[in-house]
């Protein structure tokens, strides 16, 4: 396996500690409600602790800004008519996000739309608090909207929950939303969660070349977590087929740059270049998108084959 792929996988999946405790939890792999208290604490501590350490916010590309922490990616998309926030992180991050938004010169009250990459606690747990802070409309793909409103992880992982949050608009695959000249398009990638979403947008990176745009995707859907039964999953009988469909959908995209929900590894070694806006953009050197998708799909296919005894 290539080093670049290993870096991306580590950035997209839960921490090794969390995965280990999940896979050892019981005969129902990946079920949070079967874990002992000690296992729950071990699995969650890196997300509520080390991975949620604040970092200085910065512009990533065009009108897309990073307002997350060491390894939880939160992205602010700024427009003249208000802003869009993608993901909210764990509960402890609401104040961090507020401080980061304000350091960049923006106002929380100007956040008009809140989106999510997928309904796992480390990406949506602070949604309710931030919705109250901003008054923003919460929008999500239909398949994850139920989880947001229930405050429960309804994915195959079945992990930690969150305060329920009202979803103002339920979206379908490919149903774009627009604000201030920026359009965000959701691509449905079921498997990681029922409504796992990759968001695509075009942005203008160089004001001196207004005709040149960069297509960016925010990507957090890499198939079912390790330790989760894929074939004949008792809660998701079509999980194998759904997961492969998700990779088919991802392969239709053609981004110039992709951003992840766990950016510590992808940003390693280039953080300062990102901060000072080095060009050509350092993220243009990422592993090619279609190669990444093909290798992630192959990994899931290997798991499916192993579970089927092939």
Please report which confidence band the pLDDT of residue 42 belongs to, taking 50, 70 and 90 as the band edges. Answer: low
Mean pLDDT of the chain: 87
| H/E segment holding residue 94 | helix 94-103
- Provide the percentage of residues in the chain whose pLDDT is more than 70: 83
What pLDDT, on a 0 to 100 scale, did the predictor assign at position 50?
Answer: 73
Residue 302 has pLDDT above 50, yes or no: yes
221 closest CA partner among 240, 199, 236:
199
Q: Is the pLDDT of residue 51 over 90?
A: no
- Residue 32's nearest CA partner among 146, 150, 157 is 157
Task: Give me the phi and psi of 210, to 5 degrees please.
Answer: -60, -15
Average pLDDT, integer, range 36-56: 65
Residue 212 CA to residue 171 CA, distance in Å, equals 29
Secondary structure E strands in the chain: 58-61, 64-66, 75-79, 82-86, 111-115, 137-141, 169-171, 177-179, 182-188, 197-203, 214-219, 257-260
| pLDDT at residue 167 in the model | 98
Q: Categorise residue 139: left if φ over 0, alpha if ψ from -120 to 50, beta otherwise.
A: beta
- Given a cut of 60, is residue 22 above it in pLDDT? no
In terms of average pLDDT, the best of 27-31, 192-196, 277-281 is 192-196
In this predicted structure, the answer to whether residue 217 has a pLDDT above a threshold of 80 is yes
Give the integer Cα–Cα distance in Å for 218 and 199: 5
Domains and CATH numbers, the chain: 3-307 (3.60.15.10)
pLDDT for res 222: 87
Q: What are phi and psi of 31, to 5 degrees?
A: -95, 110
Interval 249-269 mean pLDDT: 94
């Amino acid at each position: 396996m290539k080093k670049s792929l290993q870096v991306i996988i580590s950035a997209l999946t839960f921490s090794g500690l969390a995965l280990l405790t999940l896979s050892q939890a019981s005969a129902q792999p990946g079920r949070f409600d079967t874990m002992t208290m000690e296992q729950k604490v071990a699995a969650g501590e890196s997300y509520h602790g080390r991975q949620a350490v604040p970092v200085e916010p910065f512009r990533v590309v065009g009108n897309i800004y990073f307002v997350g922490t060491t390894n939880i990616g939160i992205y602010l998309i700024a427009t003249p008519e208000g802003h869009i926030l993608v993901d909210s992180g764990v509960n402890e991050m609401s104040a961090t996000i507020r401080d980061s938004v304000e350091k960049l010169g923006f106002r929380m009250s100007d956040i008009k739309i809140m989106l999510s990459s997928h309904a796992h606690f480390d990406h949506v747990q602070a949604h309710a608090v931030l919705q109250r802070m901003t008054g923003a409309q919460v929008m999500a793909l239909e398949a994850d909207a139920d989880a947001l409103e229930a405050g429960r992880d309804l994915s195959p992982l079945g992990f930690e929950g969150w305060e329920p949050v009202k979803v103002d608009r339920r979206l379908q695959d490919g149903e774009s939303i627009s604000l201030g000249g920026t359009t965000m398009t959701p691509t449905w990638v079921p498997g990681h969660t029922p409504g796992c979403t990759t968001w695509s947008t075009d942005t203008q990176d160089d004001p001196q070349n207004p005709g040149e745009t960069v297509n960016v995707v925010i990507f957090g859907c890499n198939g079912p977590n390790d330790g989760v039964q894929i074939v004949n999953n008792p809660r998701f009988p079509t999980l194998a087929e759904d997961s492969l469909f998700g990779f088919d959908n991802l392969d239709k995209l053609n981004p110039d740059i992709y951003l992840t929900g766990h950016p510590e590894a992808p940003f390693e070694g280039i953080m300062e270049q990102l901060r000072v806006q080095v060009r050509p953009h350092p993220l243009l050197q990422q592993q090619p998108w279609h190669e990444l998708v093909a290798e992630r799909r192959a990994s899931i296919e290997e798991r499916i084959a192993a579970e089927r005894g092939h």
